[in-house]
Amino acid sequence: MTTYAAPHPDAALPPTTGPAPILRGRALTAVYGDRTQRTVALDGVDVAVCPAESLAIMGPSGSGKTTLLHVLAGILRPAAGSVDYNGTDLASLPDRARTRLRRSDFGFVFQDGQLLSELTALENVILPRLLGGASRRSATAEARGWLDRLGLAGMHDRRPGQLSGGQAQRVAVARALAGRPGVVFADEPTGALDQTTGHAVMDLLVGTCHEAGASLVVVTHDMGVASACERTLAMQDGRIASEFRRDGREARA
């Protein structure tokens, strides 16, 4: 069983270098339940994601990793703290504005893909773009380009039931990247795949996000999946217990 060791609270933070973060959470707190049964899912979490960076979030069940992803993506409002995306505080936006921002600037990949079974691969990719106001012609051209780039040429007209698990998840990746989002959020994107297929999909996800200039935030239980990312945050009890870079160096979040 993996043990997540918390760094000493007085450990020095590494100097800030490189580009300014595109996404930053400060002192994030999230609480579920009421006074009789209160669960602190996030306990003052600070996290920053730089442009085109890939970040994995790991931890045991109940550690707060999925809640952190949802708060950073503007799906959940934190009980306290702020989420800054390109100078905009997501927590201060009304629900409708956060929905528009998620549609225009964020991409999402879920464990089971969440493709619509009655639509073709191509239609699944273009639907969010059409809902966001893109023309059918431009959305279709962009979707075809991503599907081809992800190894799905000739499969545009197949429905999810006619695709393998790995192929369906590639459609989900294409859907997430269509529209050139600033950040792609992936919640256990390989959880429903075998290890070999999962790692292949993860390599494609990291590579295509980097190519598109999109940051990537991934929640995963799989250390092999996390190792594809530049940084990994290990969470425990609603806090970041440790942070590791791909070269194995330990740092603080």
Per-residue pLDDT reduced to its tens digit, 134-144: 999 999 999 99
Q: Is 135 exposed, middle or buried (0-12, 13-18, 19+ CB in 10 A)?
A: exposed
Question: What domains lie within the chain, and their CATH numbers?
Answer: 23-246 (3.40.50.300)
**Phi and psi (nearest 5°) for 202?**
-65, -40
Q: Which residue has the higher pLDDT, 53 or 179?
A: 53
Is the pLDDT confidence value at 163 over 80? yes
Is the pLDDT confidence value at 239 over 90? yes
The reply to whether the predicted model has a pTM over 0.75 is: yes
| Distance of alpha carbon 85 from alpha carbon 23, whole angstroms | 5
Is the pLDDT confidence value at 13 over 50? no
Is the pLDDT confidence value at 191 over 90? no
Mean pLDDT of 197-225: 92
